[in-house]
Structure 1
Amino acid sequence: MTETPEESAPKAAVGAFTWVGLVDRDPHDVLAEVRRLAAHPALREDSLQHGRPPKLEVLDGRLFVIAWDIDPDKVTKRPGEIIILTGGTGLLTVQWDGDRPARALRPLVERDDPTGATPLGAAYRILDAVVCDYEATVASIESELDQVETQVFDPDVEEDYERIYRLRRRIGHLDRAASALRQGFEADSDGLGELLEDDPGLRTFFRHMRSDLTAIADLLSTQRMTLDAVVSSHESNVSSRQNRDMRTIAAVAALLALPTVVAGLYGMNFKDMPLLHTGNGWVLVLIGAVVLDVVAVLLFRRRGWMGSNQRHDS
């Protein structure tokens, strides 16, 4: 068994079956173990390629799973992968590192558990640990989504758009991971039932896992719709703020334009301009320009174009 790159023992006997665990190993090592389990050639190809989409299928009496190992505590650009292949009295696991370090599988495989000391029982325990992290992730997303909703719909708070799109990426990763496994359970329910004919207790555990995946996928669908509404509101808020900024800029430009017009008129070469030959006439002109600007400011504030009483609609 090889659970981490540092360990060198390639195999371990667990109860009545043999487990081989490989972590980031050469494809030739993986191919040799897949062939030892007499897997279908299609499964050999899927086992060797890193970055495959999640899946669950039963082929030639072998359970084959590719599961994304998602960290529930942070956003990952590249989730880890766990490949599980059962065959006869053998179990093969292949792990490919992502942004999250490879999960320790030994405690799961060797655990004394009601699911039994069989390859399918060990495969279930590994998948159950992965699905438990999915449940923790979807709960974390729900909590963060509540916070983002509160932030977006609070007019006194400027929302964090980066947080919104990080949340969308988390939902997307988890949705692809959970939905693919759920679809695998549905598509290969007959084949999985044949594998579990002699172990009705384990069949119940797998049925429960399928129910968990369905619940996760349904909740993610609701969360995606909620986040779409949040994104729409965020975009509306951005547009509204831009409109308010443009109104303010236009109002300031108008305030600057009024004294500019007055100065332009009195800067022309006319002899008969009012107050042009009056003592201290420039003071009266200046006061008039200030009065015009004050009247304009009051008018703009009343219309909500300036100041703290700007309207929040567009």
Structure 2
Amino acid sequence: MIVDCALYVKGQTRHARTDITAALREARAGGGFVWIGLFEPTAAEFAEISEDFTLPTLAVDDAVRAHQRPKLERYGDVTFAVVKPGRYVDHEEVVEISELAIFLGEHFVITVRHGVSDVPAAVRAELNTSPALLAHGPAAVLYRALDLAVDGYLDVVEAIGIDIDEIEEQVFGDAGGEHSERIYKLKSEVLEFRRAVVPLAVPLQRLVAGEVPWVGAAAQPYFRDVHDHLLRAADAIEAYDHLLTNVLAANLAQVTVEQSRVTVRQNEDMRKISSWAAIALVPTAIAGIYGMNFEYMPELSMRYGYFVVIAVIAAICVGLHALFRRNDWL
């Protein structure tokens, strides 16, 4: 459950501590903070930590259950944030969304990760090599986690843009074809991605406005930069959503037109087949009548009856052919 536990005091990274209570006590005494990272803990596993750090019950339930919207909430001296990092799996055209819950106190940071994300590990690596970043205290962890998550959003936006360009070339290219399934799938992924990105704008606005304890004026410009990047990603997502809607409509229109053309060609073919069948029916019907071989048939005694019948058949067939040609059936 506990992935890592480290102590940061006076801009330096201390060794990892297994005794969480002792680490918190040392952090308070030295003016630093302790960072505890957890991965998909159960309620029972998280109970002891939540009690030691006096975490709000509602926030603990949200962190354990996951599937929360990005948000920022204050519970007295504890700030609770939820951010949803994302990455794009290009060969599947799927946006994988993970979830990171962050408890922020004066002397502690507790992160609860659900799903696959390298954001916490990347933040830890930066803190270990950046005393200047550590000088901002727990706010540094929140800032870097948000910054890396938003940078990941921009990477996803760029990857989706490449796939959308490819889809446009396929839809409006000479090959044409039916691509609605792929377009609809990508549009669904964009909408899912939108639910992870857009709601994060309000929490970042609150951080920029200085509504969160231990986020001083010196740290606010960093959050403002993250907020600007987030807005850029959100604008791109909105544009992609509208673009995919238009491309889907255009592709469906192309498919409808092509189906209409096929139907017209089929109708033309059926008319031709019906016309030739009608022409062929004439000699078949007459021959069938004279093939009944009755003894008493008045036409059999005519000297030129055979030639008359052939002439009648030919005249009717020629007349039908001329009629169908005039009506554009042949």
TM-score (norm 1): 0.78
Moved more, 167-176 or 61-70: 61-70
Count how many residue pairs are aligned between Structure 1 and Structure 2.
287
Report which stretch shifted further, 128-137 or 167-176: 167-176
Q: Contact 1:54–1:66 at 8 Å: present in 2 too?
A: yes
**1:61–1:195 contact (8 Å) kept in structure 2:** no
* Alpha-carbon distance between aligned partners in 1 of 2:159 and 2:125, rounded to the nearest angstrom: 30
Quick one: which amino acid aligns to residue 103 of structure 1?
D
Establish whether residue 84 from structure 1 lines up as the match of residue 102 from structure 2: yes
Q: 1:265-284 counterparts in 2 under 5 A? A: 265-269=282-286, 277-278=309-310
Are the structure 2 counterparts of residues 26 and 41 from structure 1 closer, same or farther at C-alpha, using a change threshold of 3 Å?
closer
Match of 2:112 among 91, 94, 98: 94
Matched, 1:181 2:200: yes
| Equivalent of residue 274 in structure 2, options 239, 257, 269 | 257
User: Which stretch shows the higher mean deviation, 213-222 or 26-35?
Assistant: 26-35
112-121 or 249-258: bigger deviation = 112-121
- TM-score, scaled to structure 2: 0.74
Q: How does 1:75-154 map to 2 (within 5 A)?
A: 75-76=93-94, 79-97=97-115, 101-103=116-118, 105-111=120-126, 112-113=129-130, 114-117=132-135, 118-154=137-173
Rounded to whole Å, the distance in 1 between the matches of 2:33 and 2:97 is: 29
Measured against aligned partners, the alpha-carbon deviations of 1:106-137 in whole angstroms (never above 9, x if no partner) come to 34124233432522101221222111110100
Deviations 1:51-86 (A, max 9, x none): 222223333233322222211334447622111111
CA distance in 1, matches of 2:321, 2:285: 20
Q: RMSD of aligned C-alpha atoms?
A: 3.4
- Counterpart residue type for residue 240 of structure 2: Q
Is this contact kept in 2: 1:115–1:201, CA < 8 A? no
Q: Which one has the bigger helix percentage?
A: 2
Write the distance in 2 (CA, Å) between the matches of 1:104 and 1:24: 15
Structure 2 counterpart of 1:93, one-letter code:
T
Deviations 1:235-277 (A, max 9, x none): 1111111111111211111111111112233333567999773
Match of 1:206 in 2: 223
2:65 maps to 1:33: no
- Tell me how far 1:229 sits from its aligned partner: 0.9
Task: Note closer, same or farther for the CA distance 1:275–1:186 as it changes in structure 2 (3 Å cut).
Answer: farther
Q: Residue 206 and residue 291 in structure 1: after superposition, are their counterparts in 2 closer, same or farther (change >3 A)?
A: same
Structure 1 CA distance, aligned partners of 2:138 and 2:69?
Answer: 23
Q: Distance in 1 between matches of 2:2 and 2:322?
A: 84
Deviation larger for 55-64 or 206-215: 55-64
Which of the residues 12, 19, 23 maps onto 2:6? Answer: 12
- Superposition pairs for residues 287-306 of structure 1, below 5 Å? none
From 248, 255, 259, the equivalent of 1:238 is 255
Q: Which runs of 5+ in 2 are unaligned?
A: 10-31, 291-298, 300-304
Say which SS state the counterpart of residue 51 (structure 1) adopts. coil
Runs of 5+ consecutive residues of structure 1 not aligned to the other structure: 4-9, 302-314
Please identify, of 182-191 and 127-136, the stretch whose mean Cα deviation from structure 2 is larger. Answer: 182-191
Letter in 1 for 2:69: P
> Residue 48 in 1 paired to residue 80 in 2?
no
